[in-house]
A and B are shown apart, each in its own frame.
Chain A
Amino acid sequence: MSKISIIIKREYLARVRKRSFIIMTLIAPLLLAAMFVVPVWIMTQEDTDLKKIAVIEEGTQIFNGIIPNTQYLKFEYLQNTSLDEIKNNFTDLGYYGILFISPKITYIPNAVQLISTKQPPLETTMHITNALEKEIERLKLETYNIKDLDQILKEIDTQIKLQTIKITEDGTEKETSTGIAMGIAYISGLLIYMLTFIFGAQVMRGVIEEKTSRIVEVIISSVKPFQLMMGKIIGIALVGLTQFFCWVIITFAILSVAQSILVPDMESIPQSPVPENIMSSSPVANTQPAEIQELSEVQQIFNNLGSQNWAVIIGSFIFFFLGGYLLYASLFAAIGSAVDNETDTQQFMMPITIPLLLALFVAMGAFQNPESSVAFWFSLIPLTSPVVMMARIPFGVPGWQIGISILLLILTFLGTTWMAAKIYRTGILLYGKKPTYKEMWKWLRYKI
């Protein structure tokens, strides 16, 4: 067995056996799942209290009974009551708020007020404004005296749900969802950012550990410093990949369990629900194929998840994770070699933190607009490309751009590793004073 593989093996086993690794591997997918479930759960929890709202109209009663009650909202139309009468004691009467409508509402849009002791949720205000808008529109239309207005309105009422379909080069069509693509982009971009930091820092800590425990001198009397550094970097990369694969497997397991609970009749739903007749059918809503209309939100999410090109996404994720990690890990190793303890690393972390943070910010923009020129350039620049490119890939990126990005990343990785190795081999044997950038620059030109 060659030296470097012995080192890789030790670095790998020492970390994989740690309790913290096992816990992290098991818990992260649960946390990820919680990230989706908790907001949904909170949303369902929020409005379970029944809110009674008193509706008071000034003078008229145009809107009496117009705003429909919902599961959690009840509107009581108070007649013969003036606003001043209950303004101060509506909470005592059991009301959440008072909706005060002035007759000027038809021409002054803000002549309606919702008075409450709390900030009413967006859902509630939207519900009220929608209902009022609709009613005022109807009232205005009525004044034109159009015959059969109700019938006409009913017939022209259209609801559109935009289906986005991606056509690949070989002509297969896939239903896509911008929301899902964004979700994947967001998670994979953030994950690369986090993994680069987590495992890069592990490399740095490993180097510092060897340096402070002084074992490094024993080891480099047996192997070259470069072998030790690369063995460590590769060993930890394998730890990262192991963790990632565990996460993927566990996440898919959780998802398929969730799917079987949430969408028990998944088999009956076509994976690619784009039947011919959609294209040729009339735009009248009622004639659309029933199955599409009936797809629930959850079913669509799962459908969309299934239609993603997972091979490409996971494949490019692995590549960009490795590329980005290797690039930064060698820098982390160089920093670790230059200092005696972790507190001294702060100063040298800046050049690593800034491009990575920048990458994250650009990636955040790329979720909104993956084709913007900022996203384009930063997905080619090697220091930021792993995070930014990963945020773009779920939306589809031309092959040549990925190719250039990969090429640049590999070249830069070779460059930083070469540079880091030179700093490393000098740094690991020096103790005491924290070096300056100027001294580290000199190390680059030392003969071994």
Chain B
Amino acid sequence: MEIFNARDVVKQFSNHLALDNVSITVPEGSIFGLLGPNGAGKTTLIRIINQITAPDSGTLLFKGKKLHPNDIYEIGYLPEERGLYRKMKVGEQALYLAQLKGLSKKNALKKLKYWFEKFEIQPWWDKKVEELSKGMQQKVQFIITILHEPKLLIFDEPFSGFDPINVKILKEEVLALQKKGATIIFSTHDMGSVEELCNHITLINRAKIILEGPIDEIRKTYATHEYEVVFDGEVNLLTATLSSRYKIIEHTKHNGQSIVRIKLMNDFSTNDLMKSLLSAGTLKSFNELVPKMNEIFINVVGEANSEDNKE
């Protein structure tokens, strides 16, 4: 079941094409990573989902139905460039923005009280926003975004500007929201948190989607079949290499240990590899070198760009 669908969305600005026949499918209950280099069209797509701008052409479906203006009550949006009224008091402001999202005053107060207590920020209620630090302001804004319990949450770089402790708290909060049934579209340049949180990703480059799918499948596709093996003491792996069933990419010695990066050849399984390694020395650890999202990102975008440039 998908919560949001975009089909063949085109958005042209006066001097450039922001989205070129973009289609995305956001599975319900997933954390959906929306990735891409700067200026790729992510923000435009997010604004279209939020009905801030309309596409020139294309279909948008929310819960299987054509996107309706009232659907914004079920969507929560934390923009990358965020801010609050500086001169307005925190509590009043949160209440105001919650009411704009369709909550009644009473209901909004109740919910705000819960979240302010949970984040232990009740003393900020009567402070003006300008008196808060940037991180504090972002925390308030995070609460405002999720307060109306939207079905679909859109976070654009939600963790920037936070210290590691707060990042951890917020990540837990994001996962908790997912557990409660919310779907999260998560746009970021931080590939570490993509690996940590996302189930599904879409990579936009130059107004087009160049990669999409469940994150584990993508990582499998881009797997290099490389392993890192650590031995105690020195080892000689020359004979096994000669069999051309695997290839040693790198062999370093560090603190009396040998660290070897090995690439498996096609018909060789990890079990076979293990067997041949056991004879070489005392095995300390054996790990598959799963491709980092970072590398996939750089490779895929780089490839796409060089193809574009050829044309």
Q: Which A residues lie at the B interface, using CB under 8 A?
A: 1, 3, 6-7, 10, 14, 209-210, 212-215, 217-224, 429, 439, 442, 447-448
Contacts and interface: CB of A to CB of B under 8 A. Distances in A.
A222 B86 contact: no
Contact of A221 (B50, B54, B96, B99): B50
Interface in B2-20: 14
Contacts of B274: none
A213 B79 contact: no
Contacts, number: 65
A14 B79 contact: no
A215 B100 contact: no
A19 B85 CA distance: 18
B144 interface: yes
Given A221-B75, A439-B14, A6 B54 contact: no
Given A218-B77, A429-B47, A448-B54, A213 B84 contact: yes
Contact of A10 (B50, B78, B96): B96
A439 B13 CA distance: 12
B151 interface: no
A207 B75 CA distance: 24
Contacts of B100: 3, 6-7, 219, 222-223
Nearest to A212: B83
B112 to A, nearest CB: 16
Contact of B83 (A3, A213, A222, A448): A213
A212 B84 CA distance: 10
A448 B53 contact: yes
Interface of B: 14, 47, 50-54, 56, 69, 72, 75, 77-79, 81-88, 96-97, 99-102, 141, 144
Contact of A6 (B53, B75, B96, B144): B96
Contacts of B82: 214-215, 217-218
A308 B141 CA distance: 55
Contacts of B53: 429, 448
Contact of A222 (B47, B79, B101, B141): B101
Contact of A447 (B56, B79, B86, B101): B56
Contacts of B69: 224
Contacts of A219: 97, 100
Contacts of A210: 85
A220 B96 contact: no
A439 B82 CA distance: 26
B101 to A, nearest CB: 5
27 contacts: A6-B99, A6-B100, A14-B88, A212-B83, A213-B85, A214-B81, A214-B83, A215-B84, A217-B77, A217-B79, A217-B81, A218-B82, A218-B83, A218-B97, A218-B144, A221-B72, A221-B75, A221-B77, A221-B79, A222-B72, A222-B97, A224-B69, A429-B52, A429-B53, A439-B14, A442-B14, A448-B54
Dominant secondary structure of chain B at its interface with chain A:
loop
B54 A447 contact: yes
A105 B96 CA distance: 83
Of listed A7, A10, A209, residue having the most chain B CB within 10 A: A10
Contacts of B14: 439, 442
B282 to A, nearest CB: 58
Given A218-B141, A223-B100, 13 more contacts: A209-B85, A213-B83, A213-B85, A214-B82, A217-B79, A217-B81, A218-B77, A218-B83, A220-B52, A221-B72, A221-B75, A221-B77, A222-B102
Which 10 A/B pairs are nearest by Cβ-Cβ distance?
A214-B83, A213-B83, A222-B100, A448-B54, A221-B77, A221-B50, A217-B79, A214-B81, A215-B83, A6-B99
Contacts of B81: 214, 217
A210 B144 CA distance: 17
A214 B43 CA distance: 14
Given A209-B85, A429-B52, A448-B53, A214 B72 contact: no
Contacts of B75: 221
A215 B96 CA distance: 12
Contacts of B72: 221-222
